[in-house]
Homo-oligomer: A and B are copies of this chain.
Amino acid sequence: MNRPGKGTLVPDFAGLSAALQESADQMDAALERLLPVAAGLQGRVQEAMRYAVFAGGKRLRPFLMIQSAGLFGVPAERALRAAAAIECVHTYSLVHDDLPCMDDDDLRRGRPTTHKAFDEATAVLAGDALLTLAFEILAEVETHPSGEVRARLVSELARASGSNGMIGGQMIDIEAPNHAFGEDEVILLQRLKTGALFEFCCVAGPILAEAGAEHETRLRAYARDFGLVFQITDDLLDVLSTAEKTGKAVGKDADQGKATLVSLLGIERARERAEALANSASQLLTSYGEPAALLQALPVYLLNRER
């Protein structure tokens, strides 16, 4: 998987890898501050929130958010708070998706899922509390001095993660085995289930900077291309990788009869599509110059990652 595709530039992967790690460390420190300390009789749910959040995730969404904020000179603390809110939403969605009544997964990143480490009731509540905390973080004045900006962030995150966003995508995903999805439905599913939150990650930068609609539109377009690259990469890994490398059951989607762009287009055409999208995403950001280099490299990096 390490060879770059035809016509794809080879970006500075070592630099990107280091930047991802640095950003993840900053994110962990911010989350450490922002998550409630387990205390009192309700401490168990707060322990479960921390267990779920500090699970060794790559913090890809915070990276997108922090990089998009960096294009507009947003102060680090504000970007980190918005990124923390995103990671709370992402984590809650994993905790609930792993529940026995949903994907019924016992392991995530090689360790017990939250409902296995605690219990189902605590996992439901921890997910609920993480979702709630995301909005609390965004709404507080430390996120931005302007109430208009904070309310805008809340509104955008709620739309991205609501019944016509991420939750809607999860609903479609659950229903998927009952339908014969074509390319349009698979792309819609991806745009809702994972794409909407990626869009929020990227548009939160220009919103925090009050940079205006034109920048928001451009970052959203980048996020859409990025999201599809991310999904195709994930589907390719699902088909090609070994269980050892990804730490989860391989070919699970295919086993469940779920259509993916890879199953619909075939491996080679899906990879070509992803390469074209990675290039398109990169080109959308050329006007930002050097500060956009990492965002431009990221989709190609994903597509070439070993895991």
Which A residues are within 8 Å of any B CB, using their own CB?
36, 40-42, 44-46, 49, 92, 96, 99, 101-102, 119-122, 124-125, 127-129, 131-133, 135-136, 138-141, 146-152, 154-155, 157-159, 161-164, 167-172, 174-175, 179, 185, 188-189, 192
Contacts and interface: CB of A to CB of B under 8 A. Distances in A.
**Shortest 10 CB-CB contacts between residues of A and residues of B:** A42-B168, A147-B148, A147-B147, A136-B158, A101-B120, A139-B154, A139-B155, A129-B163, A150-B151, A45-B171
A73 to B, nearest CB: 22
Nearest to A40: B168
23 contacts: A41-B171, A41-B175, A41-B179, A42-B168, A42-B192, A45-B163, A46-B168, A122-B171, A122-B174, A124-B124, A127-B128, A128-B128, A132-B161, A133-B163, A135-B135, A135-B154, A135-B157, A135-B158, A136-B158, A138-B154, A139-B152, A139-B154, A147-B151
A171 B101 contact: no
B132 A158 contact: yes
A125 B42 contact: no
A162 B49 CA distance: 11
Given A96-B124, A171-B125, A159 B147 contact: no
Number of copies: 2
Nearest to A164: B36
Contact of A42 (B45, B149, B155, B163): B163
Given A96-B128, A140-B151, 11 more contacts: A40-B168, A42-B192, A45-B168, A45-B171, A102-B121, A125-B167, A128-B128, A136-B159, A139-B154, A141-B151, A147-B147
B124 A172 contact: no
Nearest to A160: B132
Contact of A132 (B122, B131, B150): B131
A158 to B, nearest CB: 3
A132 B167 contact: yes
Contacts of A135: 135, 154, 157-158
A81 to B, nearest CB: 13
A49 B171 CA distance: 12
Given A154-B139, A188-B41, A163 B131 contact: no
A225 B131 CA distance: 29
A166 to B, nearest CB: 9
A128 to B, nearest CB: 5
A177 to B, nearest CB: 12
Most B CB contacts (10 A, CB to CB) among A120, A132, A163, A169 go to: A163
B148 A133 contact: no
